[in-house]
Amino acid sequence: SPKLQVRNVVNWFAIQEESFLNSSYTIRIKDKVSYDIYRPDYSCLTRLLQVNASVQEIVASLVDCQDWIKDWILVKVNSAGDKVVLPMEAFGVFTSLGLNERLFAVSVQELHNLVSVPCQYTTRGNFSHLF
């Protein structure tokens, strides 16, 4: 009589996903993260700073920028264009950023004309082109 043969089927995708899902990393206060700081012309300045960096430390890290002035302020802007000026003594800026919020370094004069980064805008209409 013929023997039944058992085949082992390996789901390679499941193995790859499991290792990804089981890996976790806790961000610590002293860890450095990438801060993307925009200017009103949407140029982006990237700095590697501690998670708990203060506004003052972030602004001080920008002194080597070509158009830097000592009166720059740090502003959070969301996709709706809402602006929040961050006080210089505030810290933990990275963890305070909400979904779809960006940091801007601007002068007080530039603040009034500041608008969201174009990639923050939500689009309306027909999304059929995505499918």
pLDDT tens-digit readout, 70-125:
889 999 999 888 999 999 999 889 888 888 899 999 999 999 888 887 765 555 55
pTM score: 0.70
In terms of residues, how long is the chain? 131
Would residue 25 count as lying in a domain? no
What is the Cα–Cα distance from 70 to 65, expressed in whole angstroms?
11
Query: What pLDDT shows up at residue 11?
Result: 56
Query: What pLDDT shows up at residue 131?
Result: 47
Would residue 99 count as lying in a domain? yes
Statement: residue 67 has pLDDT above 90:
no
| Residues 37 and 45: beta-carbon distance below 8 Å | yes
Would residue 104 count as lying in a domain? yes
Query: What pLDDT shows up at residue 47?
Result: 95
Residue 43: give the domain boundaries. Answer: 32-112
